[in-house]
């Protein structure tokens, strides 16, 4: 049986959050949700999830700003972060990896494939 991971999704789209949560829970992930960057940062510090799925385009604080704060905080700097976004320009991908992301999944995504993609990125990171 696959290892059960705790996962924090930070995304400003409530419908996406709910669909992703359902898809990941069916695949035995424990899922936490945050609808914005500041809320996500608080949850990450408090719950220390195995991995974070982080949207890039959000109001108030974008995903790259959140990623920067996560990587600068001693409590969250070692949590792997996978960017999850509609942006697929090469410079966006490079910016995310340069900031410390371990993966980049573009939207739209087939929710039935989401858990498999996330698990593969975590396992590759753990190698």
- Going from N- to C-terminal start, the domains of the chain cover 10-108
Q: Is the entire prediction scored with pTM above 0.95?
A: no
Could you tell me which CATH number the domain at 10-108 has?
3.40.50.2300
Tens digit of each residue's pLDDT (9 = 90 or more) over 92-107: 778 889 999 999 888 8
Mean pLDDT of 49-59: 93
CA distance 9 to 18: 10
Q: How many Å apart are CA 18 and CA 103, to the nearest integer?
A: 21
């Amino acid at each position: 049986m696959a290892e059960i991971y705790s996962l924090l999704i930070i995304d400003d789209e409530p419908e996406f959050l709910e669909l992703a949560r359902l898809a990941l829970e069916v695949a035995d992930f424990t899922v936490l949700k945050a609808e914005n960057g500041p809320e996500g940062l608080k949850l990450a510090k408090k719950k220390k999830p195995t991995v974070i799925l982080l949207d890039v385009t959000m109001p108030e604080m974008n995903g790259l700003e959140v990623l920067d704060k996560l990587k600068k905080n001693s409590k969250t700097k070692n949590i792997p972060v996978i960017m999850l976004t509609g942006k697929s320009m090469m410079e966006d991908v490079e910016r995310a990896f340069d900031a410390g992301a371990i993966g980049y999944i573009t939207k739209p995504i087939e929710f039935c494939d989401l858990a498999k993609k996330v698990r593969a990125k975590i396992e590759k990171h753990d190698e």
